[in-house]
């Protein structure tokens, strides 16, 4: 019999790619999502329930109806800058609701949990690339939210036999346009869609700070293709299914690119120059984030296949064209 995986936030960017991969691997996919970004998410391969993952009435109905094997949790607020300005919303959604959900899930005997953590838990790097032993010093409420939940998971694993895998994402990027999946944030704050839209629509791309402690003064990030990221969730789940112990892993490629390097690459992919404006630093940004990914490779057998930067930008560009050039989103045609 197919195993049913419940995906919180499964219509979002990373959740949807992971959900599709689960479906392709033969799992039954059940999604709870508020669809707050206005996504037209009606893929035939998943059952989508439009709800808040904190709605206990809906959760009761779902857990009564389905035999859930494991939960993947993607339903978080993610904009680092906004978390600095509105920490209460972030603690409410990313911490309180998550703990309540864990309690609910455990009360229904579901014990496997894959958590979307973040490299933001480390704060400014002391040593690059960063491995899992890097000290924690998150500088944004978002990073602190993720760290609190990691501590909760550790304690729940000891006390309540929760089996979890926590994946500390670096920068998710790219898309799977062939399967009508890609980045659809509203408002969009991420560098790649904003750069591509600036080039296409002759708008100005703002560089947030050129005075960072990096070779060219702009922030360096480790961009990982969303399909490689999604695969790690399935490997994490299968690792728990085969008796693996609860654990946490950095999830990045091990290579970093500066904002200026990204601009050059994006211009090459689109074949057009971009208007650029240098602005102030954005709240909550750190100089450099690059993963040491030895642990996830060794324990989960994860190997990135899609994360070449050209492929990331090309797939993101294809998705932008489908999504924003009048073609609209026609799912499962
Ligand atoms: N940037 C710009 N201009 C823009 C947008 C971004 O210069 O218009 C810069 C940012 O300052 C940053 C880099 O591009 O240096 C990447 O920014 P993104 O917003 O694309 O990604 P972040 O690194 O801020 O955020 C991502 C995830 C978060 C996660 C974080 C870890 O979206 O969920 O990585 O720090 F927490």
Domain boundaries of the chain, sorted by first residue: 4-173+223-251, 177-221+254-327
> What is the Å distance from ligand 1's center to 223 Cα?
10
For ligand 1, whether the C-beta of 197 sits within 6 Å is no
Residue 207 CA: which ligand 1 atom is closest? 7
Tell me, what's the pLDDT at 288?
A: 95
Sign (positive or negative) of CA dihedral 52, 57, 63, 69:
positive
Output the pLDDT for position 332: 32
Write down the CATH superfamily of domain 177-221+254-327. Answer: UDP-galactose 4-epimerase, domain 1 (3.90.25.10)
- Is 223 one of the catalytic residues? no
Ligand 1 atom 33: the closest Cα is on which residue? 78
Whose Cα sits closest to atom 3 in ligand 1? 207
Question: Of all protein residues, whose CA lies closest to atom 30 belonging to ligand 1?
Answer: 120
* Token pair in block for residue 249: 């892993």
Residue 171 alpha carbon to ligand 1 centre in Å: 8
Residues of the chain with pLDDT under 70: 324-333
What pLDDT sits at residue 267? 96
Integer Cα distance of 306 and 318 in angstroms: 15
Query: What is this structure's pTM?
Result: 0.95
Between CA 299 and CA 175 the distance in angstroms is: 26
For residue 332, is it left (φ>0), alpha (ψ between -120 and 50) or beta? left
Dump pLDDT digits (tens) for 166-175: 999 999 999 9
pLDDT of residue 41: 82
On the CB side of 197, CA atoms within 13 Å amount to: 16
Determine if ligand 1 sits within 6 Å of the CB of residue 185: no
Let me know if the fold of 4-173+223-251 is the same as that of 177-221+254-327.
Answer: no
Q: What is the CATH number of domain 4-173+223-251?
A: 3.40.50.720
């Amino acid at each position: 019999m197919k195993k049913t995986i419940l995906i919180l936030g499964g219509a979002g960017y990373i959740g949807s790619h992971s959900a599709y991969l689960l479906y392709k691997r033969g799992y039954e996919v059940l999604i709870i999502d508020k669809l707050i970004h206005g996504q037209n998410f009606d893929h035939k391969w998943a059952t989508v329930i439009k709800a808040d993952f904190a709605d206990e009435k809906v959760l009761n109905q779902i857990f009564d109806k389905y035999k859930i094997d494991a939960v993947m949790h993607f339903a978080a607020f993610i904009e680092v800058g906004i978390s600095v300005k509105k920490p209460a919303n972030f603690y409410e959604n990313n911490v309180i609701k998550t703990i309540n959900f864990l309690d609910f899930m455990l009360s229904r005997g579901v014990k496997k949990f894959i958590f979307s953590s973040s490299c933001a838990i480390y704060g400014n790097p002391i040593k690059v690339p960063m491995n899992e032993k890097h000290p924690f010093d998150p500088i944004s409420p978002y990073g602190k939210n993720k760290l609190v939940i990691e501590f909760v998971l550790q304690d729940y694993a000891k006390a309540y036999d929760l089996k979890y895998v926590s994946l500390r994402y670096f920068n998710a990027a790219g898309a799977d346009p062939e399967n009508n999946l890609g980045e659809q944030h509203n408002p969009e704050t991420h560098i790649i869609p904003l750069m591509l839209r600036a080039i296409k629509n002759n708008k100005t791309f703002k560089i947030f700070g050129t005075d960072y402690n990096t070779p060219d003064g702009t922030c360096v990030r480790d961009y990982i293709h969303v399909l490689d990221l999604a695969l790690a969730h399935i490997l994490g789940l299968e690792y728990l299914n085969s008796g693996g112990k609860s654990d946490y892993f950095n999830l990045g490629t091990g290579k970093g690119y500066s904002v200026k390097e990204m601009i050059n690459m994006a211009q090459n992919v689109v074949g057009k120059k971009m208007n650029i404006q240098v602005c102030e630093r954005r709240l909550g940004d750190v100089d450099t984030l690059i993963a040491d990914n030895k642990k996830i490779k060794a324990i989960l057998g994860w190997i990135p296949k899609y994360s070449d930067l050209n492929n990331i930008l090309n797939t993101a560009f294809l998705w932008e064209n489908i999504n924003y050039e009048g073609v609209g989103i026609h799912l499962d045609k």
